[in-house]
Amino acid sequence: MEISSTLQIVESLTRAIVEHRLRPGTKLAEQKLADHFGVSRTLVRQALFQLSQNRLIRLEPARGAFVAAPSVEEAQQVFAVRRMLEAEMTRAFVHTVTPARLKALREHVAQEKQAVNTDNVTGRTELLGDFHVRMAELMGNQVLAELLRDLVSRCALITLMYQTNQAAAHSHNEHADIVKALAARDEELAVRLMTEHLLHVEENLTFDRKLPINDLSLALS
């Protein structure tokens, strides 16, 4: 019961943030959330910690929890670093490609397709980001996988908040094309597709969405 309650709070808050019902910077008062969901503050605290791990909220000592407010500039810097890292990762992947690694990537791309088709916003964002981490893991490079996981999570909120359904579908198609280039061992094409893909993700973020509300009860109702 406790796990499902925590999960319910996480999903409710994620949806409210993603659907722009909660403004970045909004304070998430523990007692107010506990009253709203009819649970203990301990469960609320667990949910808030989980959301902070996903960088959807930030926890400030003695001040509480707030909806994260990543800047456009931070997103641009993250994407710049990712392009540098992932171009070289793609190059290395081509040189070490195996049927098993390709099979694992194809299975991941199939999961993405399902999430995109069912309009599972949280799931698709996670899977689209994990594609890049998965490549590093399959190469056996844990340091690179951890670096990418951190970079991907840093722009996850930006992507969650500002990526349209159409752009998400486009991202999935580009992943499928990258896998085809990897399978063909076409190094130059694979590197070019990866670089263009990351540029497209950044370019397709829409930063002019309408401003969400700041009332916690209203946003979660």
Predicted confidence (pLDDT) per residue in 149-187, tens digit:
888 877 777 777 677 788 889 999 999 999 999 999 999
Cβ atoms < 10 Å from Cβ of 19: 13
Mean per-residue pLDDT of the chain: 88
Least confident of 102-111, 123-132, 166-175: 123-132
pLDDT at 201 over 80: yes
What residue spans in the chain does CATH classification 1.20.120.530 cover? 72-203
CB atoms within 10 A of CB 127: 23
Q: Which residues contact 40 (CB under 8 A, 6 or more apart)?
A: 34
2-69 adopts what CATH topology? Arc Repressor Mutant, subunit A (1.10.10)
* Alpha helix stretches (DSSP H) within the chain: 2-18, 30-37, 41-53, 72-95, 99-117, 121-138, 142-162, 165-183, 187-203, 216-220
pLDDT band at 210 (very low <50, low <70, confident <90, very high): low
Distance CA 156, CA 128 (A): 10
Per-residue pLDDT for 122 more than 80? no
- Of 142, 1, 32, whose CA–CA distance to 13 is shortest? 32
| pLDDT at site 2 | 59
Predicted confidence at residue 206, as pLDDT, reads 67
Full-model pTM: 0.73
- For residue 119, CA distances in Å to 7, 116, 164 come to 19, 5, 11
Sheet with 27-28, edge to edge strand ranges = 27-28, 64-67, 57-60
The closest alpha carbon to 187, from 174, 196, 175, 178, belongs to: 178
Q: Which pLDDT score, from 0 to 100, does residue 82 have? A: 95
56: DSSP letter:
S
Give the sign of the dihedral formed by CA 23, CA 26, CA 28, CA 29.
negative
Helix or strand (DSSP H, E) at 28? strand 27-28
The pLDDT, as a whole number, for residue 208 is 60
pLDDT, tens digit, for every residue of 15-60?
888 777 887 889 999 999 999 999 999 999 999 999 998 778 999 9
> Given this model, what pLDDT does residue 216 score?
66
Q: Average pLDDT for residues 89-100, to the nearest whole number?
A: 98
User: pLDDT at residue 13 above 60?
Assistant: yes
What whole-number percentage of the chain has pLDDT above 70?
Answer: 89
CATH 1.10.10.10 domain extents, the chain: 2-69
- How many alpha carbons lie under 13 Å from residue 91 in its C-beta half-sphere? 9
| Res. 121: pLDDT tops 80 | no
Contact 183, 102 (CB under 8 A): yes
Q: Is the pLDDT of residue 211 over 50?
A: no
Hey, what amino acid is at 144?
L
**pLDDT over 50 (residue 1):** no
Rounded to a whole number, what is the distance in angstroms from the first to the last CA of the chain? 22
Thinking of the domain 72-203, which architecture would CATH place it in?
Answer: Up-down Bundle (1.20)
